């Protein structure tokens, strides 16, 4: 059976086409503002094209993510937590925990048997928007994605209370002539502290093998800082962006 | 009903409760009586004063939030511009905002208070109860001191605390007589005490019956009843009969496995009052066959059930006045009403055992699968210890979900869509899907 999963996140939409537990095609695109439904359609079509599959060949499409309702073509939907757990069981089966670091949401899931959720924790409102902050900070500071991912540690500190407070400190530092990369590094560390709170909410952690998912998993500097804060080593699966979409596709095939 | 497992039927007591509630509403709107604010004791002690009605701002504020959120928002704004910010209890903001606007949500005149008797509280938000009424007019205020201590239970200290609270209550009654020229009817008070004790026993039995499977009542049902005879004023014989009939009905439902929610397959609990302006989340959860069987706030108001060493379920041991004590004097009646323990009425807020640990016992007694805790910024649902309680419950294998908001009477900061999505996530993580989708 060929199934598809689409994960409509706060910033990015990810889609995969799967068969027998393997990804045939994948695509990522901007989720969009007013044109979210159209963008979801475009990303889905792009995934089909990547797989070389006609739409009619897909038996079921399940949606997930904050914007799951925008996938009007989906047959059903599942929450991110459940989709992540299911996706992790297939794409990183040796993982004991999944730690998803997205534009808006940070989520930790302890993985149970057969792709079930044993325990989970999601950020509270004060911890929202970590990924978005780093993305828009990069644009404002004129730094590329690669530069953001390879930032060196810094002694400069910004408020780690929430993205709003960190952003306030950015303005002060800019006014004081602090170098852009140092500011970005300070914010990266602060956001790592915020994200760590979600991991610490878990009552029965399983740190043996923690896999990362979501856009920030591809930011080397952020991952490094998070590892320092939590004294852990993380695994970043090859398809870290698509674990949630894959989970939705697998749930469709189940 | 999709996925129906149990028989269900409407509560017969509901019609009588509505009737009584309507009578009470008319009663507090009377203009020929002295209206006060607050409540020295839980229970309608003012029944013994012929021309006095006492209205607690909490239920007024909660009702407003539930009935007319647009008006409640106007009221909160009216409170804010007078310096009562959103960190204060939303119930106060709603109720006292109406005072400053001069009318209730149906346009009727606001029943201005002539005195306040806020019941004592350790919370600095709640001890300000009624201050707004005094901002409006220079009216008298009486309140008992809030008595508590940290450390091991000390029976002698408890007795001293009870005596002190009794003194405060007695002084209040004597002062009201003098200030308002009202005569306190001690015989009526004695009748009230006896009825109150019987009502309390009926209520204790009912909340324990809610532990049955299937639950005969959900917490949403309980909200319709739990203030009757406490915060709402009636003649004691009327209230006693109401509660006895209600207990009989609930017992019958348990004996015949009549469920509050016919598709009950997941039982969950809370700790605090709910978001009164968004009670639809209970019905939303029923789409998953998930029923809320109570909270520390609703079920443990009068009683602190625990599992005894022999496996039976009974109230926690407190020093208390003998319910069969002779009531010969006003002092006897006041002591009786101050009553069961010195930390009444809300042990769960301040008792050093109940607050952080009792939810684990609650979960076992009520056979729950999970818990939903609100993280409120202020008001009666203080967030204090809730994260720790969640960790203890999770270690026992219960699933716990949080949602955030200002406080139960204030819709500000409650992101309803986010809340519903979080409920979906929670239910799906428990392996459940909406029964409408089966």
Rounded to the nearest angstrom, the gap between the alpha carbon of residue A74 and the centroid of all alpha carbons in its chain is: 21
Question: ipTM score of the complex?
Answer: 0.91
What is residue A191's three-state secondary structure? helix
* B424: Cβ contacts below 8 Å, ≥ 6 apart: A79
- In the numeric block, which tokens belong to residue B186? 């001690």
pLDDT for the residue numbered B148: 75
Q: Is A124 in contact with B375 (Cβ distance < 8 A)?
A: yes
Min Cα distance A80 → chain B (Å) is 7
- The full DSSP string for A108-163 is EEEE-GGG-EEEEEE--GGGTTHHHHHHHHHHHHT--HHHHHTPPP-S-----S-H
Of A66, A82, A119, the CB nearest to B428: A82
pLDDT per residue of chain A (254 residues) written in tens, 0 to 9: 999 999 999 999 999 999 999 999 999 999 988 899 999 999 999 999 999 999 999 999 999 999 999 999 999 999 999 999 999 999 999 999 999 999 999 999 999 988 999 999 999 988 899 999 999 999 999 999 999 999 999 999 999 988 999 999 999 999 999 999 999 999 999 999 999 999 999 988 888 899 999 999 999 999 999 999 999 999 999 999 999 999 999 999 99
Give pLDDT, residue B39: 67
Q: What is the SS3 assignment for B314?
A: strand
Q: What distance in Å separates residue B259's CA from the closest CA in chain A?
A: 29
Say what the alpha-carbon torsion angle A153, A158, A164, A168 is, to the nearest 10 degrees.
-120
pLDDT tier for residue B41 given thresholds of 50, 70 and 90: low
Helices (H), chain A: 36-51, 80-91, 130-141, 145-149, 163-175, 180-201, 220-230, 243-253
Q: Determine contact: A99 vs chain B, CB below 8 A.
A: no
Would strands B258-259 and B52-55 be described as parallel, antiparallel, or unpaired?
unpaired
pLDDT band at residue B438 under the 50/70/90 scheme = very low
For B79-108, what is each residue's pLDDT tens digit? 999 998 877 788 888 999 999 999 998 898
Kindly give, in sequence order, each residue whose CB lies less than 8 Å from that of residue A21, ignoring residues fewer than 6 positions away. A90, A250
At a CB cut-off of 8 Å and minimum separation 6, what does B27 contact?
Answer: B53, B233
Query: Reduced to 3 states, what is the DSSP secondary structure of residue A210?
Result: strand
By Cβ distance, the residue of B375, B390, B428 closest to A81 is B428
Opening angle at CA B127, ends B125 and B133, nearest 5: 100
Average pLDDT over residues B368-391: 83
Exposed e or buried b per residue across B147-184, where buried means at least 16 C-beta atoms within 10 angstroms of its C-beta: beeeeeeeeebbeebbeebbbbbbebbeebeeebebeb
How many CB atoms neighbour CB B53 within 10 A?
21
- Nearest CB among B390, B399, B428 relative to A79 is that of B428
Quote the CA–CA distance of B57 and B380 in Å, as a whole number.
12
Nearest residue in B to A201, CA atom: B391
CA B305-B292-B239 angle, 5° bins: 65
Q: Are A192 and A216 in contact (CB under 8 A)?
A: no
**B404 vs chain A: nearest CA distance in angstroms?**
8
Per the document, the length of chain B is: 438
Average pLDDT of the segment spanning B219-227: 89
* Ranges of H-type helices in B89-185: 90-101, 131-136, 155-180
Instruction: Give CA–CA dist B253/B216, Å, rounded.
Output: 6
- Among residues 282-301 of chain B, which lie with CB inside 8 Å of chain A? none
Output the pLDDT for position B31: 59
- Tell whether B412 is within 8 A of chain A (Cβ): no
What is the percent of chain B where pLDDT is above 90? 41
Is B61 in contact with B411 (CB distance < 8 Å)?
no
Which residues on A lie below 8 Å from B399 (Cβ)? 119
Sheet holding A60-64, edge to edge: A22-30, A12-19, A2-8, A60-64, A76-77
Residue B415 gets which letter from DSSP? -
Q: Is the pLDDT of residue B431 over 90?
A: yes
Q: Is A20 left (phi over 0), alpha (psi -120 to 50) or beta?
A: left
Cβ within 8 Å, pair B437-A119: no
SS3 per-residue string spanning B263-307: CCCEEEEECCCCCHHHCHHHHHHHCCCEEEEEEHHHHCCCCCEEE
Contact B424 A79 (CB under 8 A): yes
Nearest to A203 among B394, B421, B428 (CB): B394
Q: Which has the closest alpha carbon to B432: B369, B359, B363, B390?
A: B369
């Amino acid at each position: 059976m060929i199934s598809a999963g689409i994960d409509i996140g706060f910033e990015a939409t990810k889609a995969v086409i799967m068969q027998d537990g393997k990804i045939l095609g994948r695509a990522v695109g901007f989720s969009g503002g007013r044109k979210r439904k159209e963008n979801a359609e475009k990303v889905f079509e792009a995934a089909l094209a990547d797989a070389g599959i006609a739409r009619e060949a897909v038996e079921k499409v399940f949606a997930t993510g904050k914007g799951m309702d925008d996938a009007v073509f989906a047959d059903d939907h599942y929450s991110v937590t459940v989709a992540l757990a299911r996706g992790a069981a297939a794409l990183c089966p040796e993982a004991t925990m999944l730690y998803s670091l997205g534009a808006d949401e940070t989520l930790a899931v302890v993985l149970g048997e057969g792709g079930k959720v044993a325990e989970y924790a999601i950020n509270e409102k004060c911890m929202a928007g970590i990924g978005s902050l780093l993305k828009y900070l990069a644009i404002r500071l004129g730094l590329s994605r690669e530069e953001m991912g390879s930032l060196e540690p810094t002694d400069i500190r910004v408020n780690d209370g929430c993205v709003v407070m960190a952003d306030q400190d950015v303005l002060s530092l800019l006014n004081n002539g602090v170098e852009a990369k140092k500011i970005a590094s300070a914010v990266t560390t602060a956001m790592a502290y915020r994200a760590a709170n979600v991991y610490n909410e878990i009552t029965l952690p399983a740190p043996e093998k923690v896999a990362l998912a979501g856009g920030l998993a591809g930011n080397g500097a952020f991952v490094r800082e998070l590892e320092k804060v939590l004294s852990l080593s993380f695994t970043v699966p090859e398809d870290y962006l698509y674990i949630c979409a894959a989970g939705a596709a697998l749930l469709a095939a189940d | 009903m999709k996925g129906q497992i149990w028989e269900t039927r409407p509560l017969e007591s509901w019609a009588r409760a509505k009737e009584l509630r309507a009578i009470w509403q008319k009663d507090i709107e009377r203009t020929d009586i002295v209206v006060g604010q607050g409540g020295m004791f839980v229970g309608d002690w003012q029944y013994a004063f012929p021309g006095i009605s006492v209205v607690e701002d909490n239920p007024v504020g909660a009702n407003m939030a539930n009935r007319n959120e647009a008006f409640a928002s106007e009221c909160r704004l009216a409170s804010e511009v007078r310096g009562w910010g959103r960190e204060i209890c939303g119930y106060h903001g709603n109720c006292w905002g109406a005072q400053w606007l001069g009318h209730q949500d149906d346009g009727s005149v606001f029943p201005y208070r002539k005195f306040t008797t806020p019941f004592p509280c350790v919370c600095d938000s709640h001890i300000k109860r009624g201050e707004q009424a005094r901002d409006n007019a220079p009216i008298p205020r009486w309140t008992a001191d809030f008595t508590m201590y940290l450390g091991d239970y000390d029976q002698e200290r408890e007795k001293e605390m009870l005596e002190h609270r009794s003194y405060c209550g007695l002084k209040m009654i004597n002062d009201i007589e003098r200030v308002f020229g009202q005569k306190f009817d001690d015989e009526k008070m004695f009748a009230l005490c006896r009825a109150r004790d019987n009502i309390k026993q009926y209520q204790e039995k009912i909340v324990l019956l809610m532990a049955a499977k299937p639950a005969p009542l959900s917490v949403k049902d309980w909200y319709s009843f739990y203030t009757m005879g406490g915060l709402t004023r009636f003649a004691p014989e009327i209230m006693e009969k109401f509660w006895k009939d209600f207990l009989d009905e609930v017992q019958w439902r348990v004996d015949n496995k009549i469920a509050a929610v016919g598709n009950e397959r997941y039982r969950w609990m809370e700790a605090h009052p709910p978001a009164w302006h968004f009670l639809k989340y209970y019905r939303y959860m029923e789409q998953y066959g998930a029923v809320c069987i109570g909270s520390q706030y609703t079920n443990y108001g009068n009683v602190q059930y625990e599992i005894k060493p022999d496996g039976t379920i009974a109230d926690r041991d407190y020093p208390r006045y003998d319910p069969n004590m002779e009531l010969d004097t006003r002092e006897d009646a006041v002591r009786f009403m101050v009553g069961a323990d010195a930390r009444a009425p809300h042990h769960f807020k301040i008792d050093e055992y109940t607050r952080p640990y009792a939810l684990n016992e609650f979960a076992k007694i009520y056979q729950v699968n999970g818990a939903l805790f609100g993280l409120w910024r202020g008001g009666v649902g203080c967030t204090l210890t809730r994260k720790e309680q969640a960790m203890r419950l999770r270690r026992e294998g219960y699933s716990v979900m949080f949602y955030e908001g200002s406080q139960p009477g204030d819709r500000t900061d409650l992101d309803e869509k986010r809340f519903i999505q979080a409920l979906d996530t929670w239910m799906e993580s428990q392996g459940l899907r909406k029964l409408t989708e089966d």
